[in-house]
Amino acid sequence: MSASDSRTTDRPVLSGLPESGQRRQLILTGVVGTVGRCRDHTRQALHDWGWLPTEDPDQEARAEDVLLVVSELVTNACQHTGGADQLVLHATDRTLRVEVYDGAATAPHLRLPHTPGRPGGHGLHTVALLASRWGHTPRTDHPGKAVWAEIDLPRT
């Protein structure tokens, strides 16, 4: 392999996207097994967008990180807000944004002090560790909020 072959190019990781990006939405009202359904929906999107399957262990690990972020955000909505009612994935060639909508106006917060050996209270700490950014925004369509996380995508 020459030195030029090992350089990072400006080729997007999510090669299966239209130029403007793509948004995927999963309505969760009345859904049983919400976390698993959200993970399956996200995994399918990653397949459709060309991220999976992959022989690249770093890309595989990053895909697992995305699935873990989805799991943590949906689990938090189920445990603390009465349940998520929508999952939205928005991908461009630079960023993957995960949004989980619920009907509660209460803002999410990191549980402090964080005690790693104690059960519970790790979800948002995990999201903060794996995501490039995270936060929440109030809903404009009806009461509640969206808790979101953005993952910056590497270039290949």
Burial 132-155 (b: 16+ CB within 10 A, else e): eebebeebeeeebbbbbbbbebee
Which residues contact residue 47 at a Cβ distance below 8 angstroms, ignoring those fewer than 6 apart? 53
- Whether 4 is covered by a domain: the verdict is no
Confidence check: pLDDT of 9 > 70 = no
Do the Cβ atoms of 54 and 60 come closer than 8 Å? yes
- Whether 120 is covered by a domain: the verdict is yes
- Whether 12 is covered by a domain: the verdict is no
Note the pTM of the prediction, 2 decimals: 0.87
- Whether 3 is covered by a domain: the verdict is no
Say how far apart CA 4 and CA 6 lie, in whole Å: 6
Question: CA separation (Å) from 49 to 33, 46, 52, 96, 139?
Answer: 24, 5, 8, 11, 27
- Whether 143 is covered by a domain: the verdict is yes
- Whether 2 is covered by a domain: the verdict is no
| Number of domains within the chain | 1
Nearest to 92 by CA among 7, 21, 30: 21
**69-106 pLDDT tens trace:** 999 999 999 999 999 999 999 999 889 999 999 999 99
Confidence check: pLDDT of 3 > 50 = no
CATH code of the domain in which 44 resides: 3.30.565.10
- Whether 30 is covered by a domain: the verdict is yes
